[in-house]
């Protein structure tokens, strides 16, 4: 090799090193791109799951006292904690007396966001009382035997319903939200030192004296199976997926929803509204008094427990905005 050619080795080596560096850089860029795509996918999936979870949380919270102050068309925005690094917002847009669009938005610090929304229904006491077709509502074709008396009010004594429940809120929704009843017992107010013991299973409030310790307490109780009420007094909303016997002079006021047969006997009295989907047996000297005001009071008092937000549209996603 002549003296003048010696520098070529260095140049060739440098070019080779540069080529290798370029190759390594290309590999790095490729790996970085794959990582960025994967991270974006993970972020989208996380935000979507968080928004879906937040929507279910909002739905489970159901009715809140502020809802009565929201007029149709108005939206209430409520921030919620979701997870570290994620900000959540629940929007309640009122569409009617009982219809709402519930929307959950979740965003992270990078500006990515996801949302879910559903059309939900939360009962309104006025609307529900007005929806009962009779003081006693029975299923189509159910046989009834009325030897006692049914006192009508603004609606006929007996009407027909398509299903036992409270509007779109079926027995499943209502039973899941209500306290569980034992098979048989005698209800009555339970107070200790002037304070109503709301945890007592057969404490269904005091319908005869609104100033008594349990005068303002209303039961929201249910049972999957038959129920027998052996005398006693109570007020509230009861949901039973089975047959019910009310006997021994029991006095109940509010709303009673029964999927099977209702047997009222022994001089017992029910006030408010009754659904006896499987039919009614009303014994001599027993009475069912139609009272929209007592039914409405009971439904209003238990809204914080039974007022779950029921999805009323079959689509899992309603679409944009």
Partner 1 sequence: MRGAGGFSLVEAVVALLLGGFLLHLGLTTMHRLQLHEARTRHRQDALLAERIARVVLRGELARADGTWRVGEDSVALRSYRGTGIVCGPGPATDEFTVAYRGDRLPDPRKDSVELTTETGVVSVFALRSTEPGTGACPGAAAGEETMRWSVDGLVPLDVVMARVFESGTYHLVGSALRYRIGRGGRQPLTPRVWEDERTGFGVGDAAVRLELHRRAGYGAGSSTEFLVWRRR
CB of 194 to partner 1, least distance (A): 42
Pairwise CA distance, residues 50 & 123, whole Å: 27
Element (H or E) spanning 273, and its range?
strand 269-276
The dihedral region occupied by 83, where left means phi > 0, alpha psi between -120 and 50, and beta the remainder, is beta
Minimal CA–CA distance to 247: which of 270, 259, 234, 231? 231
Note whether 273 and 257 are within 8 A (CB).
no
Verify binding: residue 5, partner 1, rule CB under 8 A.
no
Pairwise CA distance, residues 241 & 244, whole Å: 9
Note whether 106 and 91 are within 8 A (CB).
no
CB of 202 to partner 1, least distance (A): 34
CB of 316 to partner 1, least distance (A): 4
Verify binding: residue 73, partner 1, rule CB under 8 A.
yes
Which of residues 74 and 180 has its CB atom nearest to partner 1 in the complex? 74
Pick from 19, 27, 95, 198: which binds partner 1 (CB under 8 A)? 95
Verify binding: residue 316, partner 1, rule CB under 8 A.
yes
Query: Could you give the residue ranges of the DSSP H alpha helices within the chain?
Result: 7-61, 125-131, 171-177, 292-301, 303-306
Pick from 69, 154, 193, 315: which binds partner 1 (CB under 8 A)? 315
Instruction: State which of positions 269-308 bind partner 1 (CB under 8 A).
Output: none
Which of residues 98 and 263 has its CB atom nearest to partner 1 in the complex? 98
Verify binding: residue 1, partner 1, rule CB under 8 A.
no
Q: How far is CA 65 from the centre of its chain?
A: 15
Which of residues 17 and 163 has its CB atom nearest to partner 1 in the complex? 163
Question: What is the three-class DSSP state of 191?
Answer: strand
Pairwise CA distance, residues 154 & 138, whole Å: 17
The 143-182 site mask, x for binding partner 1 (CB under 8 A), equals ------------------------xx--------------
CB of 125 to partner 1, least distance (A): 15
CB of 242 to partner 1, least distance (A): 26
Question: What is the three-class DSSP state of 183?
Answer: coil
Verify binding: residue 59, partner 1, rule CB under 8 A.
no
Verify binding: residue 312, partner 1, rule CB under 8 A.
yes
CB of 104 to partner 1, least distance (A): 15
Minimal CA–CA distance to 178: which of 299, 1, 279, 19? 299
The 220-259 site mask, x for binding partner 1 (CB under 8 A), equals ----------------------------------------
Pairwise CA distance, residues 63 & 66, whole Å: 9
Verify binding: residue 195, partner 1, rule CB under 8 A.
no
Query: Count H helices, E strands: the chain?
Result: 5, 24
Query: Which residues bind to partner 1, rule: CB under 8 A?
Result: 71-75, 93-99, 101, 119, 121, 167-168, 312-321
């Amino acid at each position: 090799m002549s003296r003048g050619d010696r520098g070529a080795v260095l140049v060739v080596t440098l070019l080779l090193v540069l080529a290798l560096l370029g190759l390594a850089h290309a590999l790095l860029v490729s790996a970085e791109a794959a990582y960025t795509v994967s991270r974006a996918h993970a972020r989208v999936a996380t935000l979507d799951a968080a928004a879906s979870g937040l929507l279910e949380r909002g739905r489970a919270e159901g009715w809140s006292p502020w809802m009565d102050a929201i007029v149709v068309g108005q939206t209430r925005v409520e921030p919620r904690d979701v997870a570290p690094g994620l900000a959540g917002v629940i929007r309640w847009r009122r569409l009617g007396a009982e219809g709402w669009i519930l929307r959950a938005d979740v965003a992270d610090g990078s500006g990515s966001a996801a949302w879910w929304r559903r059309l939900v229904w939360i009962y309104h006491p006025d609307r529900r009382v007005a929806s009962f077709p009779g003081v006693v509502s029975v299923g189509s074709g159910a046989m009834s035997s009325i030897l006692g008396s049914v006192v009508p009010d603004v609606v006929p004594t007996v009407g027909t319903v398509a299903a036992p429940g409270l509007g779109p809120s079926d027995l499943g929704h209502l039973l899941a939200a209500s306290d569980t009843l034992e098979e048989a017992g005698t209800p009555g107010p339970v107070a200790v030192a002037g304070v109503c013991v709301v945890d007592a299973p057969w404490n269904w409030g005091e319908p005869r004296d609104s100033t008594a310790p349990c005068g303002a307490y209303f039961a929201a109780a249910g049972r999957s199976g038959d129920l027998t009420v052996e005398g006693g007094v109570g007020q509230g909303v009861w949901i039973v997926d089975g047959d019910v016997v009310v006997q021994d002079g029991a006095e109940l006021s509010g709303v009673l929803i029964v999927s099977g047969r209702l047997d009222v006997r022994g001089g017992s009295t029910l006030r408010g509204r009754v659904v006896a989907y499987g039919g009614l047996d009303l014994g001599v000297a027993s009475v069912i008094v139609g009272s929209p005001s007592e039914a409405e009071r009971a439904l209003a008092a238990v809204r914080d427990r039974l007022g779950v937000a029921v999805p009323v549209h079959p689509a899992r996603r309603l679409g944009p905005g």
